[in-house]
């Protein structure tokens, strides 16, 4: 039993409690009725996807700085889970937007930025998948992750100049107190689930990188690079 198994299990339990409360205990939303109950899934996905990309950004800086496999594997974990969460986010948003706004998609800053986030980080994963040299791959992944993350606020601000249709940010202050508790529980559930998945993905990536390293030591400068991960494992 590793820490990420526990984290994932805690996340699932919290998600079940939070969504259960959101579906059966909390009152229906004043304007949207029962459709508004997607809030508990949608808002927590949105928050945690951004948390995943933020942590990917810090892991990428660490990977660039220390050049160790552990950091590299963390970047992969956070980016992959972030991409999955962003895809889910866009899907949930479309499902919700159809009955509420009457459209599946609109060119609102937050929607457009999420879509761009999704393609930008998918491209990072694609780029990573075609590089064979381990040290080069680590470097390229971290640089591409940093640049993609720095771009997010700029994309958001530039698209904001268009008219915005999206709800204001949902924060505990803008939501009725009956809805805050299930939202908080769902968000923490999503956070623990995300960390659990990232931990698992990181472990898989580390094993893969170690195997790659032991199978084919690169012919040039094998000793000069400090790629071992003994300290962190």
Partner 1 sequence: MSVLVQIAWILQKDLLIEWRARSRMFALVSFALTTLLLFSFAVGPDTKALREHAGGYLWLALLFSSTSLLDRSLRVEEESGAMDSLLLAPTSPTAIFYGKALSNTLQLVVLGVIALPVTLALCDATLTGSPLVLLAALVLGAMGLAAPGTLYAALTARISGQQLLLPLLLFPLIVPALLAAVKATTLVLTGDPMEQSGSWLVLLACFDALYWSICGVLFGRIVET
Chain positions contacting partner 1, by CB under 8 A: 64, 116, 119-120, 123-124, 126-127, 130-131, 135-136, 139-140, 143-144, 146-148, 150-151, 154-155, 157-159, 161
Minimum CB distance to partner 1, residue 48 (Å): 21
Length in residues, the chain: 233
Q: Which is nearer to partner 1, 29 or 151 (CB)?
A: 151
Q: Which is nearer to partner 1, 151 or 212 (CB)?
A: 151
Minimum CB distance to partner 1, residue 60 (Å): 11
Minimum CB distance to partner 1, residue 221 (Å): 11
221 φψ region: left (φ > 0), alpha (ψ -120 to 50), beta (else): left
Q: Which is nearer to partner 1, 64 or 73 (CB)?
A: 64
Q: Which is nearer to partner 1, 183 or 227 (CB)?
A: 227
Q: Which is nearer to partner 1, 39 or 118 (CB)?
A: 118
Minimum CB distance to partner 1, residue 217 (Å): 17
Minimum CB distance to partner 1, residue 119 (Å): 5
- Written as six digits, the tokens of 121 are 């980080």
């Amino acid at each position: 039993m590793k820490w990420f198994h526990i984290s994932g299990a805690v996340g699932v339990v919290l998600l079940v409690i939070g969504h259960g409360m959101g579906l059966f205990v909390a009152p229906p939303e004043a304007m949207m009725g029962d459709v508004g109950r997607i809030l508990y899934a949608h808002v927590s996905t949105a928050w945690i996807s951004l948390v995943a990309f933020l942590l990917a950004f810090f892991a990428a800086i660490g990977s660039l700085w220390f050049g160790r496999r552990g950091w590299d594997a963390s970047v992969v974990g956070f980016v992959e889970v972030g991409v999955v969460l962003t895809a889910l986010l866009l899907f949930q948003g479309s499902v919700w937007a159809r009955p509420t706004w009457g459209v599946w998609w609109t060119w609102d800053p937050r929607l457009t930025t999420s879509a761009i986030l999704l393609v930008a980080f998918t491209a990072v994963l694609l780029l990573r998948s075609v590089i064979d040299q381990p040290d080069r791959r680590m470097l390229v992944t971290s640089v591409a992750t940093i640049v993609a993350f720095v771009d997010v606020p700029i994309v958001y601000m530039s698209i904001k100049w268009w008219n915005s249709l999206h709800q204001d940010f949902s924060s505990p202050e803008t939501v009725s107190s009956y809805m805050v508790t299930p939202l908080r529980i769902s968000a923490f559930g999503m956070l623990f689930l995300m960390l659990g998945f990232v931990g698992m993905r990181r472990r898989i990536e580390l094993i893969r990188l170690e195997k790659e390293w032991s199978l084919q030591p690169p012919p040039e400068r094998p000793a000069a690079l400090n790629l071992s991960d003994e300290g962190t494992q």
